[in-house]
Amino acid sequence: MPRHYKCISGDSHLDIRPERWTPRVPKRWRDRAPRTSGASNLQTFLRITLRLLAPAFLNGWLWVLVHAAKDFSVALLLASAGSVVVANIIYESFVGGHFTSSAAMLVFLITFNLIFVILGRKWIGRTVGA
């Protein structure tokens, strides 16, 4: 004998095409659920996920840039005869007695890092704050 239940199981659902219910979703909320608007996985990744991850990636690269620039010993140990690394040039200039040129290169390196960090932090603040 069939029974009539007044509740629906949470595991069962209907697969309804988005065209039938998307117009009922307010326009300001449609960008929060891209699949409801018919976006593909690639579009969802590029337009939403990558934009959310970009500040974290940029923070990571800024951290690597700052720590790689301050650590001269690794660059000096890993250098080969054919590689030209800023740390090697500054070290050779310093050991060779050219203190002014090595100091100028260090100031340039610090300024370069500082500009990238300031621009990156401004972009991250603008992106996250928006």
Query: Taking the C-alpha atoms of 96, 97, 98 and 99 in order, what is their torsion angle to the nearest 10 degrees?
Result: 130
Domain extent, residue 118, equals 53-129
Angstrom distance (rounded) from CA 105 to CA 94: 10
The Cα 73–Cα 41 span in angstroms is 44
> Does the predicted model carry a pTM greater than 0.85?
no
Number of domains in the chain: 1
130 residues of the chain, pLDDT tens digit each: 455 545 555 555 556 666 776 777 777 776 666 766 677 888 888 877 888 888 888 888 888 877 777 766 676 677 777 777 777 788 888 889 999 998 998 888 888 888 988 888 888 887 766 5
Query: In the numeric block, which tokens belong to residue 86?
Result: 């800023």
- Whether 103 is in a domain gets the answer yes
Q: Is residue 123 part of a domain?
A: yes
